Amino acid sequence: METKHPATYEEVQKLHPLYFNIVKKRYWWFAISLLIIIPGVISLFMQGLNLGIDFKGGTMLDMTFKKAVTQTAITDTMKSVGLEGQVQLSNGNTTALIRTQALEEAKRNELLTSLQTKVGEYDKTTLKEDKVGPAMGQELTRNAFYALVIAMGLMIVYITIRFQFVFAISGIIALLHDVLVVVGLFSLFRWEIDSTFVAAVLTIFGYSINDTVVIFDRIRENESKMKRGESYEDMVDKSVWQTMRRSINTVVTVLIALFSVFILGGESTRVFSLAMLIGVFSGAYSSIFNASQILVEIKTRMKKSGGKGGKGGKAVRA
């Protein structure tokens, strides 16, 4: 636990030259989130997600070239015959795993001929071809949903034990915000998703709660030091600003790494890195501008109704 952070609200305000009251503007932050989430949710209901081969089924070719090849050369060749898909290279860029739509015999032969002509000779004796059914994608989606539900349940238990139940509810709402932003934008812009998208959503769900817990920890620490007559809103605002530099430094570092993967990682990591970029940015936003503001809103409404904020909770000081 840090001990050398500013002790008073006034000191925190002077420490940050760009200071503004985040908590009192919470309805603005809620409105910005809704402006992004609502179109995405509408798109999900109207047109769903642009499912890739992992979810719709297709053809998978595993082939070994006699020399090193590039991912770009293979994808360009596929486009030249009217096909799109994913390409993964391994074994010194000589083995290629190609996933594309279900191919008829004529289209398959056209693709193989083009690959041999434009990319390079391949070993016909080791060529493997499999038909990928949609059942695998359906099972993956179902298991991912179960994983999210289990993760939410465990997070609620953990945060309730460590903090209070209202903290857990606030954190979970912020997490759902991040998932809806990512899924909604992918639906809105019709970006194709594959199995790595599911992995990205699960990763975002786990990553996003980290910064939120750090802010919650500072709120808990400052709440225990509150004096009679001090404002709960001001205390939360102070807590958010005390952790602001850490939050920004962390997210910028992660975004730089993800942006590098997005630019240089190739087609096989494009969906994962794009989903992670959106999710990490959304997670930073929700941790700073949503999670603690939802906490304030719940506490304020509980005070008005005469309730108390969960296990060991304190009435909100006016």
CA-wise closest residue to 282 among 208, 186, 203, 190? 208
Q: Dump pLDDT digits (tens) for 259-306.
A: 999 998 877 788 999 999 999 999 999 999 999 999 999 998 888 776
**What is Dmax (Cα atoms) for the chain?**
81
Q: Average pLDDT of the chain?
A: 86
Asked if 202 and 147 count as a contact pair (C-beta separation under 8 A), the reply is yes
CA-wise closest residue to 122 among 56, 74, 80? 74
* CATH fold of 58-132: Alpha-Beta Plaits (3.30.70)
As to burial, measured by CB atoms within 10 angstroms (0-12 exposed, 13-18 middle, 19+ buried), residue 145 is exposed
Amino acid at 81: V
Asked if 250 and 283 count as a contact pair (C-beta separation under 8 A), the reply is no
b (16+ CB within 10 A) / e for 3-33: eebeeebeebbeeeeeeeebbeebeebbeeb
The mean pLDDT of 161-165, rounded to a whole number, is 92
Which tokens in the block code for residue 286? 């929700």
Which residues are within 8 A (CB) of 34 and not within 5 positions of it... i.e. 6 or more apart?
Answer: none
> Residue 136 — pLDDT band, cuts 50, 70, 90?
low
Asked if 80 and 114 count as a contact pair (C-beta separation under 8 A), the reply is yes
pLDDT of residue 13: 74
Q: Dump pLDDT digits (tens) for 38-63.
A: 999 999 999 988 887 777 778 888 99
HSE on the CB side for 216, CA within 13 Å? 27
Q: Which CATH number fits domain 9-51+136-304: 1.20.1300.10, 1.20.1640.10, 1.10.760.10, 3.30.420.10?
A: 1.20.1640.10
**Which residues partner with 131 through β-bridges?**
59
From CA 175, how far away is CA 158, in angstroms rounded? Answer: 15
| Residue extents of the structural domains in the chain | 9-51+136-304, 58-132
Which tokens in the block code for residue 311? 């296990």
pLDDT of residue 311: 44
Residue 308 pLDDT greater than 50, yes or no: no
Beta strand 192-193 with 50-51 is parallel
> Residue 188 — pLDDT band, cuts 50, 70, 90?
very high
